[in-house]
Copies of this chain bind each other. A is one copy, B any other.
Amino acid sequence: MARDDETGLMVENAAARCAQCPLATCEGLRQPPDELRAWIAAFRQGEARFVRGEQVFAQGLRLRHLYTVLSGVLMRTRLLEDGRRQIINFMFPGDFIGLQAALDGEMSHAVEAVTSATLCVFARDRFFELAALQPRLSFDLTWLAAHEEAALEEHIVSLGQRNARERMAALAVFLVQRGMDTGLAPDGILPITVTQGQIADMLGLSLVHTNRTLQALRRMGLVDWTLSAIRIPDMDAARRMARIDGVGASAPRPYI
């Protein structure tokens, strides 16, 4: 039990837990070979737990560790000086946190827990040493970075070209899809507490308009998004509304 000087969060020594990593049984993820898993376990320093709503990392923070999401959902947000806030993306189990900050010095965004969440903690320098020894790890790292980039690309398309309804449908489809891939929404319902204010900050809409759009989608039977869960009664119709063309299915996602 030690106090992480970067963030004040609790870190437990829990290296042994890799053997029963909850992500090992997750169908949506590509499992690392045993040898790599052993290496990763050896380099893992512990876990950090956060409750819903807690700030995990502040914007501008200098990270001395790398993190991955072990359980739960988080979001990364960017704050402008005048108080405007943009939610960049949500993070699901298996996602990497802090890569850009580790390479570059400062976090360009803050991270906040959307649900209660657990992170795995790795020492930054030792992690990169391991990546140099294990091409597969390095490859997975690149894979994740490239796919996060693709997700942001999709978000840019939403913000730039889609109207409020399309945006919201696209976001709901995206989140539920990721929830299903990571085992959080086995039945197609993603139990996750997101306020309308947060949806607004993600989609670049006002709170009022977000509320009205949400109601419209619910009335149309496309997306049923409450404070505590996202449900998509008619996935095909929702995808049409969102103008999502690609199939969305891609190679299985690796994790660290």
Residues of A within 8 A of B (CB): 78, 80-82, 84-86, 88, 99-100, 103-106, 108-109, 128, 131-132, 135, 138-139, 141-143, 145-150, 152-157, 159-161, 201-204, 243, 245-246, 250-251
Copies held by the complex: 2
The complex places the Cα of A109 from the Cα of B204 at a distance, in Å, of 23
Q: Which residues of B contact A82 (CB under 8 A)?
A: 243
Q: Which residues of B contact A202 (CB under 8 A)?
A: 160
| 13 interchain pairs, CB-CB under 8 A | A78-B153, A81-B243, A86-B156, A88-B153, A99-B142, A99-B146, A103-B142, A108-B154, A138-B142, A149-B152, A155-B156, A159-B160, A160-B201
The complex places the Cα of A134 from the Cα of B245 at a distance, in Å, of 38
The complex places the Cα of A2 from the Cα of B85 at a distance, in Å, of 51
The complex places the Cα of A101 from the Cα of B170 at a distance, in Å, of 22
